A and B are shown apart, each in its own frame.
Chain A
Amino acid sequence: MAQASTNELRPGYKVEVDGQPYFVTGNEFVKPGKGQAFNRIRLKHLMTGRVIEKTFKSGEKLELADVLETDMRLLYTDQHGAVFMDDNTYEQVTIPFDNIGDNKRWLKEDLVYDVIFYNGQPVTVDPPTFIEVKVTETSPGVRGDTASGRVMKPAIVETGAEVQVPIFVNEGEVVRIDTRNGEYDSRVS
């Protein structure tokens, strides 16, 4: 397996530590006085996102994780999971919903997702930061409520996600949602 020295590791590298895959998010060179140099490395778990800090002797080698990040287009979903296609190679892959987790509520056909493969297996699916989705279910706005700033109401969008939208948004309209926090951004139509 390929390795990299602590001196080369920069944010963006993917390494394997204690059998787990991590993104490198920080690397601090520490060398007190006449003592031995070491590196304090910040790592973010590829799947869980948990952040840890580890200390390595300077020059020590870490295993590089077999991680591939690819843009893939969602073709359709079925009972087995979501089927994605690589626009460049036309290769298709079915990713079980278990590996998609909470992001299942942002799956919309024909959108391009960031898919991460670890040891050849798809492990995470990240949606675009903003997606445009149709409101499929919400109560009608009540006249008069709009005067007191932005009053919100619950709505369900075509991908199945539950979001809060302003009271003036009606069923069948398209809204722009921030997938990082599920917050309403603007009305598209």
Chain B
Amino acid sequence: MKAKWSELTPEMVNMIHAFLKIRAGMLTQARLFFSERGITEVDCPILSSKASVDAHIDLIYSESSQVYLHSSPEYGMKKLLAQGSGDIYQLSHVFRKGEMGKKHRPEFMMAEWYRCGFTYDQMIEETCSFIQLFVGMLPIQSLSYKEAFKKYANVDITTKSDEELNEILGLHVEPQLGNECLTVITNYPASQCALAKTAHVDGERVAKRFEVYCRGLELANGYDELTDSAEQKRRFHEANKQRKQLGKQALPIDDEFLSILDSVPDCCGVAVGFDRLMMLRHNTEDIADVIFYPV
């Protein structure tokens, strides 16, 4: 919504009410999806004194309270998994500083869930079923990161840096993904593993990470979760090193998270952007159309 509260016409107010009902209905359907599968809703805190460390995700920080707004409930949820919580999901707002555009908001709704004992392929399948609640029974197409670059940009990924790949992905590959289908991108370069396990596939080390796209919109980011604290620590330091090279502040590492990571059972997890699902459901290209709160 681009209008101000004071500028709302009766028609706009009616439209907002109608939309909020649909949105509430979709939240109910999402919860039903999880409860039917025996996945428990949790509500990990949004505020945390330690940060999640990503080279390219900036956090909103309150100087006076010395707390961060979470960019995902991931660390809190993994602490629960380590305690034997079993399968869990969280529906909550997450926060990312500076992300603002037609597909981005610094505050948005995320659905995140973890499945113990699930294989990577099972997790992809379940993620697509969840997305289909919103976009209908679109067919599913799956290709590796490497194949996607070859097919949509005619680029051999081994000849490019991560930074170059990122730009090609955003400008040339992503807009072509998920045309009348869901496109799953699998097996990311090991250098873009984030919190995923790595594995050898056809002689190359790849990250067991996946993303799902529909009509050029990135909807989901999932992992076969890394449960090796030593490796995770190394990645945190690597991310902080990258942050410094980009002229950003290094972020404090959550030692408690590292100390429980080895106790997290083998599991897969995924995070799905709820507002983007609503964009597809309502056939709009601007996220402002589905966040019905005037500025």
Binding site for B on A (CB under 8 A): 7, 28-38, 40, 55, 58-59
Question: Which of B60-68, B94-102, B260-268 lines the interface with chain A?
Answer: B94-102
Contact B104 A31 (CB under 8 A): yes
Number of interface residues of B (CB under 8 A): 26
Q: Tell me whether chain A's interface is mostly helix, strand or loop, or mixed.
A: loop
Write the chain A residue with the least CB distance to B175: A30
Contact B192 A33 (CB under 8 A): yes
In angstroms, Cα B63 to Cα A12, docked, is: 35
Contact B56 A37 (CB under 8 A): yes
Chain A contacts of B101 at CB under 8 A? 28-31
A28, A29, A33, A38: the one contacting B167 at CB < 8 Å is A38
Contact B100 A31 (CB under 8 A): no
User: Which parts of B83-121 form the interface with A (CB within 8 Å)?
Assistant: 98-104
User: Which parts of B214-251 form the interface with A (CB within 8 Å)?
Assistant: 218, 221, 246
Chain A contacts of B165 at CB under 8 A? 35
Binding site for A on B (CB under 8 A): 54-57, 98-104, 162-163, 165-167, 169-171, 174, 192, 194, 211, 218, 221, 246
A28, A32, A55: the one contacting B169 at CB < 8 Å is A32
B55, B98, B171: the one contacting A58 at CB < 8 Å is B98
> Known interface pairs A7-B98, A58-B98. Does A35 touch B166 (Cβ–Cβ under 8 Å)?
yes
A9 to chain B, nearest CB (A): 12
Cross-chain pairs A/B with CB under 8 angstroms, 11 sampled? A31-B101, A31-B170, A32-B166, A32-B170, A33-B192, A34-B192, A35-B166, A35-B169, A36-B166, A37-B99, A58-B98
Chain A contacts of B55 at CB under 8 A? 34, 36
Contact A32 B104 (CB under 8 A): no
Chain A contacts of B104 at CB under 8 A? 29, 31
Contact B98 A32 (CB under 8 A): no
In angstroms, Cα B174 to Cα A35, docked, is: 13
Chain B contacts of A30 at CB under 8 A? 101, 170-171
Contact A37 B98 (CB under 8 A): yes
A7, A28, A34, A37: the one contacting B221 at CB < 8 Å is A34
